[in-house]
């Protein structure tokens, strides 16, 4: 597993603009094209996020991020202070001669602005782009050992291609007579869609220049990072045969547009973005890994990212609020082990379950229309205390917490019948969206499981009493549902359960033929929920119930495999 850190946002109790509020409601730092500057013992993160300019966050530990206290909003660069009106992308900030230089794109033109502070305001004395005559993006500064500055950037000819030019010592003016092409699409892995080499970043190691770049469209799940090497910055750049060096690590998709920096321990780090989930591109989220070199047969060190996972530990209390609109199958999945799995990663879950036994999407939708007090509202608070309130409405539970995640699921007999989902799921989602308080809530779909082979449930006849058939129908129906209803994340409990059944544990996960047993079955589902919500590989979670110690490792591996199979 790739060693990456999920960056978490520290909530601030200050008055924010709307764009600030929407960002801080998210659990994770959601910057695309991220860049990190270490200055005077503090980290500053910049990236593509706001339509009004470039945002900035600060951190002491690369894990907990907040708006700088002196800022009333997140913007380090405001569009009112610079050329351009839209598309403020891919910033990088450098401290040179007692001044901060920000290189970024606006209106698909490369620009530079300056400030006396890493938090801004960055401004242009002359409001104009650096390269006026054509569209271009992703400008990145490199200063060589002799002090000569170079600018790498992307020109839109033959697709997106990487070019370089020497700069004047003002660090703002290109020497246009030195413009030189570095790379274009040339390797098989880069040809997914469309012709893109972009996001260049250059460092020097043992006399060689190493340029990381991203290939394929940022919208593609196969967006990835490669690198090229040269002994002459204005010469030929040779792409590595080990490319891509980062593509779809773990549960991440659309990984790319990185930058490289040194942390407080002088270790090389790489920061990059990834798609929000397999099913959603936006908002893209920010991750950090290590970057190292190792010897190769040709005498030129090979750039690589270590193949191990680094857990994220939070200094501040981190709460994730999850509401399941479900039935007894959500009881099996979220009410038992999920809270303890969170504790292992310093996460406190607040878990709500709107419970009606055997409740279908149609009945949930009908209850939303009639505001019926039909629910048992079961809740685990941040301290792990379980309470139940009977005769509650859907509306009551939706407004009880500022939910980060809300899930839907179908009643088990209907879970593999696609026609039973609609229009109820889309209408229920619309009601929920209109009544929950968090504008940035993410919607989960809970894929339930097939019955045991010996199940006597009357709904088993819908699948000819065949477990494999039921599972395949559930899998297809849930994938269809998440796309048609435009949901964000799949919780593949059904696939996880089936994977466990295919191990030495066998078909022993249900206590009555359809409900999960209170040990292995429920722990399997809880592990699926944990990984779906946190995107942390559950095999790195050390929590294990005492009575499942022998099976725990096999269960976690089976659950993680379910995410790889999505």
SS (H, E, C) 411-445: CHHHCCCHHHCCCHHHHHHHHHHHHCCCCCCEEEE
Question: How many CB atoms sit inside 10 A of residue 428's CB?
Answer: 23
Q: Is the pLDDT of residue 497 over 80?
A: yes
- Distant-in-sequence, close-in-space partners of 480: CB < 8 Å, separation ≥ 6: 418, 421
- Distant-in-sequence, close-in-space partners of 457: CB < 8 Å, separation ≥ 6: 412, 413, 451, 513, 514
The reported pLDDT for the residue numbered 69 is: 64
Question: Sorting pLDDT into bands at 50, 70 and 90, what band is 451?
Answer: very high
Per residue in 348-360, pLDDT (tens digit) is: 899 999 999 999 9
Q: What is the dihedral of CA 271, 194, 103, 274, to 10 degrees?
A: -20
Share of the chain above pLDDT 70, in %: 92
Q: What is the SS3 string spanning 198-251?
A: EEEEEEEECCEEEEEEEECCCCCCCCEEEEEEECCCCCCCEECCCCCCECCCCC
Share of the chain above pLDDT 90, in %: 81
Q: With b meaning 16 or more CB within 10 Å and e meaning fewer, what string describes 161-183?
A: bbbbbbbeeebbebeeeebeebb
Q: Which of 250, 265, 210 is nearest to 4 (CA)?
A: 250
Calculate the CA 116 to chain-centre distance.
32
- Distant-in-sequence, close-in-space partners of 555: CB < 8 Å, separation ≥ 6: 500, 505, 520, 523, 524, 527, 548
The reported pLDDT for the residue numbered 310 is: 38
d(C-alpha 129, C-alpha 108), whole Å: 10
Question: Sorting pLDDT into bands at 50, 70 and 90, what band is 311?
Answer: very low
Per residue in 520-555, pLDDT (tens digit) is: 999 999 999 999 998 889 999 999 998 998 999 999
d(C-alpha 519, C-alpha 102), whole Å: 55
Question: How many CB atoms sit inside 10 A of residue 494's CB?
Answer: 26
- Distant-in-sequence, close-in-space partners of 284: CB < 8 Å, separation ≥ 6: 30, 31, 32, 254, 273, 274, 275, 276
Give strand pairing partners of 536: none
Per residue in 161-220, pLDDT (tens digit) is: 999 999 999 999 999 999 999 999 999 999 998 999 999 999 999 999 999 999 999 999
d(C-alpha 529, C-alpha 520), whole Å: 14
Calculate the CA 323 to chain-centre distance.
20
132-146, 294-308, 528-542, range with the lowest pLDDT = 294-308
Per residue in 255-280, pLDDT (tens digit) is: 999 999 999 999 999 999 999 888 88
d(C-alpha 130, C-alpha 111), whole Å: 5
d(C-alpha 123, C-alpha 71), whole Å: 16
Question: How many CB atoms sit inside 10 A of residue 111's CB?
Answer: 25
Per residue in 29-43, pLDDT (tens digit) is: 889 999 999 999 999
CB 291 within 8 A of CB 269: yes
Q: Tokens 């007579």 correspond to what residue?
A: 177
CB 92 within 8 A of CB 54: no
The reported pLDDT for the residue numbered 373 is: 97
Whole-angstrom CA distances from 172 to 106, 126, 356 are: 15, 11, 64
d(C-alpha 413, C-alpha 428), whole Å: 19
d(C-alpha 362, C-alpha 395), whole Å: 16
The reported pLDDT for the residue numbered 266 is: 96
Q: What is the SS3 string spanning 479-528?
A: HHHHHHCCCCEEECHHHHHHHHHCCCCCCCCECCCCCECCCHHHHHHHHH
DSSP secondary structure, 340-365, as one string: HHHHHTTEEEEEEEEE-TT--HHHHH
What average pLDDT does this structure show over 80-92? 97
Sheet with strand 318-325: strands edge to edge? 386-392, 375-380, 347-355, 318-325, 405-408, 442-446, 489-491
d(C-alpha 509, C-alpha 520), whole Å: 6
Question: How many CB atoms sit inside 10 A of residue 203's CB?
Answer: 17
- Asked if omega into 121 is within 30° of 0 (cis), the reply is yes
Q: Is the pLDDT of residue 440 over 90?
A: no
d(C-alpha 339, C-alpha 353), whole Å: 13
Whole-angstrom CA distances from 112 to 80, 88, 116, 257, 556 are: 14, 12, 14, 19, 48
Q: Quote the mean pLDDT of the chain.
A: 91
């Amino acid at each position: 597993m790739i060693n990456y850190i999920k960056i978490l946002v520290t909530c601030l109790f200050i008055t924010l603009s709307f764009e600030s509020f929407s960002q801080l409601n998210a659990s994770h730092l959601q910057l695309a094209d991220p860049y990190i500057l270490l200055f005077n013992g503090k980290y500053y993160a910049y990236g593509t996020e706001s339509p009004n300019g470039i945002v900035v966050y600060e951190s002491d530990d690369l894990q907990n991020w907040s708006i700088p206290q002196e800022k009333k909003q997140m913007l380090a660069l405001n569009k009112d202070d610079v050329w351009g009106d839209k598309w403020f992308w891919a910033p990088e900030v450098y401290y040179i001669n007692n001044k901060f230089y920000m290189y970024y794109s606006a209106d698909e033109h490369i620009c530079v602005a300056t400030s006396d502070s890493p938090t801004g305001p960055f401004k242009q004395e002359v409001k104009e782009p650096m390269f006026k005559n054509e569209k271009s993006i992703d400008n990145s500064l490199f200063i060589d050992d002799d002090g000569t500055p170079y600018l790498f950037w992307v020109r839109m000819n033959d697709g997106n291609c990487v070019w370089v030019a020497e700069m004047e010592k003002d660090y703002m003016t290109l020497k246009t007579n030195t413009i030189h092409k570095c790379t274009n699409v040339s390797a098989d892995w880069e040809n997914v869609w469309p012709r893109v080499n972009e996001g260049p970043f250059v460092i020097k190691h043992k006399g060689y220049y190493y340029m990381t770049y991203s290939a394929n469209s940022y919208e593609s799940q196969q967006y990835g990072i490669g690198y090229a090497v040269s002994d002459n910055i204005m010469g030929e750049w040779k792409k590595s045969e080990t490319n891509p060096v980062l593509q779809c690590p773990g549960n991440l998709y659309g990984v790319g547009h990185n930058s490289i920096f040194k942390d407080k321990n002088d270790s090389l780090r790489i920061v990059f973005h990834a798609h929000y989930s397999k099913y959603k591109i936006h908002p893209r989220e920010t991750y950090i890994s290590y970057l190292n070199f190792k010897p190769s047969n040709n005498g030129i060190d090979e750039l690589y990212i270590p193949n191990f996972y680094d857990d994220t530990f939070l200094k501040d209390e981190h709460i994730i609020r999850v509401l399941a609109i479900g039935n007894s199958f959500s009881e099996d999945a979220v009410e038992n082990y999920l809270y303890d799995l969170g504790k292992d990663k310093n996460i406190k879950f607040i878990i709500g379950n709107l419970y009606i036994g055997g409740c279908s999407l149609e009945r949930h939708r009908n209850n939303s229309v009639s505001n019926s007090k039909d629910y048992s509202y079961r809740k685990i608070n941040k301290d792990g205390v379980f309470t139940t309130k009977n005769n509650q409405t859907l509306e009551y539970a939706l407004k009880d917490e500022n939910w980060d995640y809300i899930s839907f699921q179908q009643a088990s007999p209907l879970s593999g019948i696609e026609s039973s989902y609609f229009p109820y799921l889309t209408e229920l989602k619309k009601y929920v969206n209109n009544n929950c308080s968090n504008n940035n809530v993410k919607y989960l779909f809970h894929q339930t499981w097939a019955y045991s082979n010996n199940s006597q449930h009357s709904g088993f006849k819908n699948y000819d009493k065949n477990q494999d058939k039921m599972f395949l129908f559930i899998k297809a129906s849930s994938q269809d549902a998440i796309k048609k209803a435009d949901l964000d994340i799949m919780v593949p409990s059904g696939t996880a359960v089936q994977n466990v059944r295919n191990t030495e544990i066998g078909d022993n996960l249900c206590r009555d033929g359809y409900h999960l047993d209170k040990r292995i079955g429920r722990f399997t589902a809880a592990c699926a929920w944990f990984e779906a919500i946190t995107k942390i590989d559950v095999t790195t979670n050390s929590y294990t119930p005492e009575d499942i110690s022998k099976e725990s490792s096999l269960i976690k591996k089976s659950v993680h495999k379910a995410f790889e199979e999505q």
